[in-house]
Amino acid sequence: METTDAIILGIIQGLTEFLPVSSSGHLELGKAILGDTSVGEESMLFTVVLHFATAISTIIVFRKDLIEIFKGLFQFKWNESTQFSAKIMLSTLPAAFVGLVFEDELEQLFGGKVLFVGFMLLITAVLLWLADKAKNTNKSVSFPNAIVIGISQAIAILPGISRSGATIGTSVLLGNDKTKAARFSFLMVLPLILGKIGKDLLSGDLNLQSENTSAMGIGFVAALISGYFACKWMIALVKKSKLTYFAMYCFIVGTIAIVVGFTK
C-alpha cells in the first residue's frame, strides 16, 4: 500500500468512524477506488489498525468521563459510574460473540464488496432518518437498552452499516437523550477495539515486520488526528439533530455504489 493511500484511508476512517456514514463501508469504497488489492485478512487487519486509532481519539475526547468511571470501579461501589461501566460491558457482548464466531465469514466482506456496501448504506440512511424524527427525552441508557444497542453494534460490523449511526439511532429510538446516546455509543466501542487488538497481538496476526507496517503507522496517525476532530464535531451535531443530512448522504453514496457494483 502506498503512503498516500494510507493517509487518505486514515483520514476517511477518522472522519467516518464518528460521523454516522459507516467507516468500514467508506474504507471498502476507498480501497476499491484506490485499487487496493489486499486479500480479505490483510484488508481486515488494516481496518482494525485504523479503528484502534479512532479508539485512542475517543479516549482523548472522553478522558474525564473515563477517569470518573475508573474511580468508581476502584471504589468498589455500585454507583452511577460502575453502573455505566457495567452497561458498557454488557453492550459489547453481542458484537464480541459475532466477531469471534463469524470472524472468517466477516473477513470475506472486507475486500471491495462495493455492491454489498451500497445496500448497507441505504439501510443506514433509513435508520438515521427515523432517528432524527424521534423526540428527544432526558432518559439515560438502561440495562435492557444496553443489550438492544449492543445488538445494533453487532449488526454494524457489516461494512456499510454505520456503527455510530446504528448505536446512536437505536438509542434515540428507544427514547434516550441524544447527547447521552452519543456518549454511550462512542465509549461502548472501546472494549471491542482494544480486545480485538489484544487478540491479534496474542495470536500473531499483527505482524509488525510486514511490508505494510509503515503504511499502517501513517494511516494510524492520520486516523487519530482526524478522528479527534470528527468526534468533537459529531457530539455537537447530535445535539442539534442534524442526522437527516447524513441520511441523505448515505442514500446518495449507497445508490452510487449500487450502480457501480452492478456495472462492474
- Domain residue spans of the chain: 3-263
Amino acid at 21: V
Q: Residue 100 — pLDDT band, cuts 50, 70, 90?
A: confident
pLDDT attached to residue 112: 60
Yes or no: say if 263 and 129 are a contact pair by the CB < 8 Å rule.
no
The interaxial angle of helices 143-155 and 80-101, nearest 10 deg, is 30
Convert the pLDDT of each residue in 144-201 to its tens digit.
Answer: 999 999 999 999 888 888 888 899 889 989 988 888 888 898 898 888 888 877 776 7
Q: What is the pLDDT of residue 42?
A: 55
Confidence band (pLDDT; 50, 70, 90) for 107? low
> According to DSSP H, which parts of the chain are helical?
3-18, 23-34, 40-61, 63-74, 80-101, 103-107, 114-133, 143-155, 163-173, 178-188, 190-203, 213-239, 243-263
pLDDT level of residue 9 (50, 70, 90 thresholds): confident
Q: What is the pLDDT of residues 34-48, one digit of tens each?
A: 776 554 455 566 777
Q: How far is CA 243 from CA 40, 55, 61, 198, 227, in A?
A: 32, 22, 21, 33, 18
* Residue 206 in this model has a pLDDT that exceeds 70: no
Distance CA 55, CA 44 (A): 16
pTM of the prediction? 0.79
Q: Specify the higher pLDDT residue, 49 or 59.
A: 59
207 or 247, greater pLDDT: 247
| Cell numbers representing residue 37 in the block | 488489492
Q: From 3, 231, 38, 248, select the one nearest 122 (Cα to Cα).
A: 248
Radius of gyration (C-alpha) of the chain in whole angstroms:
18
Q: Per-residue pLDDT for 226 more than 60?
A: yes
**CA pair distance 202, 196, nearest whole angstrom:** 10
Q: What pLDDT sits at residue 111?
A: 60
Which residues on neighbouring strands pair with residue 176, listed in sequence order? 139
